[in-house]
Amino acid sequence: MGMGWCIGLIATGAILTFAVDWHIEGVNLTLAGLILMAAGLIGLNAYVAVFKRRRTQPPPPAAPVVEEDHRFVR
C-alpha cells in the first residue's frame, strides 16, 4: 500500500466512525470505521519505516590514498 491508500483508509474510517448516521442491521459502522483507521495507521507506519530505510545513505567514501614514488628524485 502506498501512502495515499493509507491516508484514504484513515479518512474513510473517520467518516464512517464520526460522520455517518446510518443504521444498517447486522453492521456496526463505528467498528468498521475504527478497523479501517487502524489498518490505515498500521500501513502508514509500515510505509514510513520502509521509506526511512531507503532514504539512508552510506557514508561518503574515504579520500583516496596517494603514494609518492621517491625513486626518481635528483
Mean pLDDT value across residues 16-30 = 91
- Return the percentage of the chain with pLDDT > 90, whole number: 51
- Return the percentage of the chain with pLDDT > 70, whole number: 88
Residue 19: the pLDDT is: 93
Mean pLDDT value across residues 39-46 = 95
24 pairs with which residues across the strands? Answer: 27
d(CA 12, CA 16): 6
d(CA 12, CA 15): 5
Mean pLDDT value across residues 3-8 = 92
Residue 27: the pLDDT is: 92
